[in-house]
């Protein structure tokens, strides 16, 4: 697993130190990154790891039921769960849009319908959703959505906007040529105000990027867009599942229909610099957890989160 020539393998990973989603800094380590796709998650994860990077591994979306086995196997290494979360997904085979829609409570269906009506009423002519899937269409989408993404809080505060570098656009266009991209824009008032970008892997839709114009946040354009996109995606009858990928969130929990408890696991060589890095990250994590608990007790966590995103 760990030969002399293998230690330079892997990639340089910036381990982000953050509070409330805002990065405070990074610790860089050379790691072998192993990302579990939905298929691997549903079957229990990978048994064999590739050779380690110089500093170790970063394992993404490890099913939590496998953690005791992993920790036993990696005795002598520094093993740290960086975050745990339910990995949400939707099984789309054998179900149409109506079946997915009925998975919401009657109250939620009413709320979602009311959001769509409210958005439509705010603009002369209502709103329109356009889909993009061919190479030419996706090139157009990347141009329009990229400009919109620059204005979102994901891009401004988390460096997690839609990637629109020359290589990123070329990759997206190439994937579209293989019919492996689904993308959507919501237009209202003559402009795009929300986007959704979904790569397709083995007939599974991957929830990669959702963003919206912050000027219209109160109208929930991202939510409205996602509902209409699901309608179009079900109409195709092609897709096996919708994978909300790593990490939790209210939107993923609401739109998903099942989940698997997962964790991101950092495995480092027991060197002094790695012990110090883990101690720093755990210290920041502890402060963040205490801060969240305090805001929850005061009943102001949602308000503070909204202020941070402005």
Contact 269, 53 (CB under 8 A): no
**14 and 106 both lie in a single domain:** no
| 91 found inside a domain | no
pLDDT of residue 227: 98
Distance of CA 142 to the CA centre of its chain: 18
**80 and 147 both lie in a single domain:** no
Dist CA 216 CA 198 (whole Å)? 22
**233 and 271 both lie in a single domain:** no
**17 and 45 both lie in a single domain:** yes
| 253 found inside a domain | no
**81 and 39 both lie in a single domain:** yes
Percent of the chain's residues with pLDDT above 70: 84
| 157 found inside a domain | yes
Dist CA 34 CA 243 (whole Å)? 17
pLDDT of residue 3: 44
pLDDT of residue 282: 83
| 251 found inside a domain | no
Domain boundary among 205, 238, 271: 238
**112 and 193 both lie in a single domain:** yes
The per-residue pLDDT for range 120-177, each reduced to its tens digit, is 999 999 999 999 999 999 999 999 999 999 877 665 555 567 998 999 999 999 999 9
**70 and 46 both lie in a single domain:** yes
The pair of three-digit structure tokens given for residue 158, joined into one six-digit string: 């988390």
| 269 found inside a domain | yes
pLDDT of residue 157: 53
Q: Tell me which residue of 290, 21, 13 sits closest to 157, measured CA to CA.
A: 21
Helix axis angle for 135-149 and 166-177, nearest 10°, is: 140
116's CB contacts (< 8 A; 6+ apart) are: 224, 227, 228
pLDDT of residue 98: 97
pLDDT of residue 238: 96
| 181 found inside a domain | yes
| 249 found inside a domain | no
The pair of three-digit structure tokens given for residue 238, joined into one six-digit string: 């092609």
| 287 found inside a domain | yes
**142 and 204 both lie in a single domain:** yes
Return the CATH number at 183. 3.40.630.30
Dist CA 192 CA 222 (whole Å)? 11
User: Average of pLDDT values for 209-229?
Assistant: 95
**20 and 59 both lie in a single domain:** yes
pLDDT of residue 297: 73
Percent of the chain's residues with pLDDT above 90: 69
How, if at all, do strands 56-63 and 22-35 pair? Answer: parallel
Confidence of residue 287 (pLDDT cuts 50, 70, 90): confident
Domain count, the chain: 2
CA end-to-end distance (rounded Å), the chain: 46
User: Average of pLDDT values for 100-124?
Assistant: 97
Dist CA 207 CA 11 (whole Å)? 24
Res 308 pLDDT > 60: no
Half-sphere exposure of 115 (CA within 13 A, CB side): 19
Chain mean pLDDT for the chain = 88
Q: Is the pTM of this model over 0.75?
A: yes
**224 and 276 both lie in a single domain:** no
The pair of three-digit structure tokens given for residue 160, joined into one six-digit string: 């997690």
**112 and 156 both lie in a single domain:** yes
Backbone angles phi, psi at 184, to 5 degrees: -145, 145
The per-residue pLDDT for range 15-68, each reduced to its tens digit, is 876 655 555 667 889 999 999 999 999 987 666 788 999 999 999 999 999 999
Domain around 155: 99-238
Contact 93, 204 (CB under 8 A): no
User: Average of pLDDT values for 169-191?
Assistant: 97
The per-residue pLDDT for range 254-263, each reduced to its tens digit, is 999 999 999 9
The pair of three-digit structure tokens given for residue 102, joined into one six-digit string: 């009925």
Confidence of residue 252 (pLDDT cuts 50, 70, 90): very high
The per-residue pLDDT for range 13-30, each reduced to its tens digit, is 888 766 555 556 678 899
pLDDT of residue 302: 61
Q: Tell me which residue of 222, 216, 258 sits closest to 89, measured CA to CA.
A: 258
């Amino acid at each position: 697993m760990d030969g002399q020539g293998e230690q330079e393998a892997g990639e340089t990973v910036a381990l982000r130190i953050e509070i409330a989603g805002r990065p405070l800094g990074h610790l860089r380590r050379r790691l072998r990154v192993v990302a579990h796709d939905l298929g691997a998650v549903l079957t229990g994860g990978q048994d064999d790891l590739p050779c380690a990077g110089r500093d170790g591994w970063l394992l993404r979306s490890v099913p939590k039921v496998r953690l005791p086995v992993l920790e036993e196997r990696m005795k002598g290494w520094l093993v740290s769960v960086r975050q745990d979360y339910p990995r949400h997904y939707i099984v789309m085979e054998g179900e149409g849009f109506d079946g997915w829609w009925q998975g919401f409570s009657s109250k939620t269906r009413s709320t979602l319908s009311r959001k769509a009506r409210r958005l439509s009423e705010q603009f002369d002519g209502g709103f329109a959703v356009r889909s993009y899937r061919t190479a030419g269409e996706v090139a157009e989408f990347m141009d329009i959505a990229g400009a919109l993404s620059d204005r979102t809080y994901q891009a401004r505060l988390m460096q997690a906007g839609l990637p629109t570098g020359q290589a990123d656009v070329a990759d997206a266009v190439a994937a579209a040529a293989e019919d492996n991209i689904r993308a959507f824009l919501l237009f209202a008032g003559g402009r795009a105000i929300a986007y959704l970008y979904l790569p397709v892997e083995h007939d599974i839709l991957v929830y990669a990027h959702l963003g919206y114009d912050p000027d219209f946040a109160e109208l929930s354009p991202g939510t409205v867009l996602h509902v209409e996109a699901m309608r179009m995606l079900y109409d195709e009858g092609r897709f096996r599942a919708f994978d909300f990928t790593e990490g939790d969130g209210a939107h993923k929990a609401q739109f998903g229909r099942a989940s698997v408890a997962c964790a991101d696991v950092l495995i480092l060589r027991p060197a002094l610099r790695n012990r110090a890095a883990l101690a720093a990250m755990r210290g920041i994590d502890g402060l963040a957890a205490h801060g969240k608990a305090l805001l929850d007790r005061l009943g102001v966590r949602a308000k503070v989160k909204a202020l941070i995103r402005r």
